[in-house]
């Protein structure tokens, strides 16, 4: 009833191609962005801003990166965490060693270095596919982590390999509070998500999907397969690199290489699968789900504790979490391989007809 498209005709291809073709969607999105940008930093409490919303945004960005490579371009990657690590440590070094380097600049350098690493480890994709490519990315994951650990230069020769992120400064403003870091993260992620959406609905995105669906046919149509695959690795790693830099500067503060293990790569992969491979919105939905679910589980177990008068050790909760995550992956792959994003689409379609059933 409210969600009708009646009266909204498209009289040009330009109108047909908008990101939000339906007016109600545009209004809702604008409202959401306004709320997130102007209201949340003011009313949000410290815990929510620094421990939930900011990491949610950062992980969404990482998932976006993985989605570009695996969801859109079909190149399976298990090295997401390694690219994030490169972004974090190179941003640190850029800020440290280049005088007068602005924070945003070091984030960008982190991203570019990650892109370079991504392209190098993406070279095998020109000859190998699928599972074999996953092994190549595993090699990347383990090698990069070892290199960052062993080569003192990365952590400025700190004995434990731990680095402490410097202050974040944008346009002269010192961003110390959780609210400030949240707003910075939100702006960066929003802009990069817009860029990703633009990329994926343009010829670049079509080339990625063509290579994913049938690369022989893509070549026949004139798409440069090699360049397309390397571009996918490069762009994806750039996104993961920036996410890694934000992870260090706006979330963790002190960073050790162990923050970027294979488990993190799997976590981001889960976010992509649950949220929906090949969907920008899906990256956010999946990250939201996986960020919020452990909190929900913790709350539930606390309730259970008071209800049953027993103490539930943390180990049990985290194991149940692992079981449910794994189970959900399997469930989604069976029931709705396109994840939460597809479920969202279906819900919207039903909403258009509401209150009528069909």
Partner 1 sequence: MNFFFEVVAGGLLAGVMYALVALGFVLIYKASGVFNFAQGSMVFFAALTFVSLTERGWNLWLALAVTLVVMVLMGIAIERLVLRPLVNQPPITLLMATIGLAFVLEGISQLAWGSQPHGLELGVPDVPIEWLSQKWNISVSQFDVFAALVAGVLVAALAVFFQKTRIGRALRAVADDHQAALAVGIPLQHIWSIVWAVAGFVALVAGLMWGVRNGVQYALTFTALKALPVLILGGFESIAGAIVGGLIIGASEKLAEVYVGPFVGGGIESWFAYVIALLFLLVRPEGLFGEKIIDRV
Partner 2 sequence: MSAPELQVQENLQRVGEVILSVQGVSLSFGGVKALQDVSFDVREREVRAIIGPNGAGKSSMLNVLNGVYHPQRGRIALREHVFSGMNPRRAAELGIARTFQNIALFRGMSVLDNLMTGRNLKMRASFLQHAIWLGAARREELEHRRAVEEIIEFLEIPHIRRTPVGKLPYGLQKRVELGRALAAEPSILLLDEPMAGMNLEEKQDMCRFILDVNDHFGTTLVLIEHDMGVVMDISDRVVVLDYGRKIADGTPAEVRANQAVIDAYLGVSH
Do the beta carbons of residue 156 and residue 96 sit within 8 Å?
A: yes
- C-alpha span between 274 and 164 (Å, rounded): 33
Do the beta carbons of residue 272 and residue 282 sit within 8 Å?
A: yes
Which range, of 13-21, 33-41, 95-103, 348-356, touches partner 2 by CB under 8 A? 13-21
135 binds partner 1 (CB under 8 A): yes
15 binds partner 2 (CB under 8 A): no
φ, ψ (nearest 5 deg) of residue 354:
-55, 140
269 binds partner 2 (CB under 8 A): no
139 binds partner 1 (CB under 8 A): yes
Do the beta carbons of residue 68 and residue 224 sit within 8 Å?
A: no
Which range, of 137-145, 183-191, 238-246, 303-311, touches partner 1 by CB under 8 A? 137-145
Candidates 40, 104, 120, 138; binder of partner 1 (CB under 8 A) is 138
Least spacing, CB of residue 340 vs partner 2, in Å: 18
Q: Find the DSSP H helices in 151-278.
A: 178-200, 203-213, 215-221, 225-246, 262-275
199 binds partner 2 (CB under 8 A): yes
Query: What is the pairing mode between strands 254-255 and 168-170?
Result: unpaired
Least Cα distance to 76 among 138, 127, 120, 119 occurs for 138
In the complex, the residues that contact partner 2 under the rule CB under 8 A are 13-14, 17, 195-196, 198-199, 202-207, 209-210, 212-214, 216-225, 231, 235, 278
In the complex, the residues that contact partner 1 under the rule CB under 8 A are 74, 76, 124, 127-128, 130-132, 134-136, 138-139, 142-143, 145-146, 149-150, 216, 262, 266, 269-270, 273, 315-316, 319-323, 325-330, 333-334, 337
């Amino acid at each position: 009833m409210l969600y009708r498209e009646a009266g909204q005709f498209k009289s040009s291809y330009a109108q047909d191609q908008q990101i939000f073709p339906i007016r109600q969607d545009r209004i809702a999105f604008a409202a959401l962005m306004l709320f997130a940008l102007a209201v949340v930093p003011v009313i949000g409490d410290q815990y929510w801003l620094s421990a939930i919303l900011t990491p949610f945004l950062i992980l969404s960005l990482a998932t976006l990166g993985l989605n570009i490579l695996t969801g859109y371009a079909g190149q399976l990657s298990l090295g997401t965490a390694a690219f994030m690590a490169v972004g974090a440590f190179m941003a640190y070094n850029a800020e440290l060693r280049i005088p007068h380097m602005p924070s945003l600049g070091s984030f960008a350098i982190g991203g570019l270095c990650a892109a370079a690493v991504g392209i190098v480890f993406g070279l095998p994709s020109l000859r190998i596919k699928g599972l074999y490519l996953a092994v190549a990315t595993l090699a990347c994951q383990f090698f990069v982590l070892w290199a960052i650990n062993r080569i003192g230069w990365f952590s400025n020769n700190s004995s434990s390999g731990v680095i402490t992120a410097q202050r974040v400064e944008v346009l002269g403003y010192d961003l110390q509070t959780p609210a400030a870091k949240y707003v910075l993260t939100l702006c960066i992620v929003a802009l990069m998500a817009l860029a990703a959406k633009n990329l994926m609905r343009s010829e670049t995105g079509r080339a990625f999907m063509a290579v994913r669906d049938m690369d022989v046919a893509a070549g026949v149509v004139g798409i440069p397969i090699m360049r397309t695959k390397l571009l996918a690795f490069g762009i994806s790693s750039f996104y993961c690199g920036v996410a890694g830099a934000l992870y260090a500067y706006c979330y963790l503060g002190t960073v050790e290489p162990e923050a970027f293990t294979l488990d993190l790569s799997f976590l981001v992969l889960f976010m992509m699968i649950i949220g929906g491979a090949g969907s920008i919105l899906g990256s956010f939905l999946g990250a939201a789900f996986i960020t919020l679910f452990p909190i929900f589980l913790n709350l539930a177990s606390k309730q259970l504790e008071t209800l049953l008068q027993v103490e539930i050790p943390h180990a049990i909760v985290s194991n149940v979490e692992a079981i449910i995550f794994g189970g959900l992956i399997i469930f989604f792959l069976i029931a709705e391989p396109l994840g939460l994003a597809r479920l969202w689409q279906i819900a919207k379609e039903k909403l258009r007809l509401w209150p009528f059933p069909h």
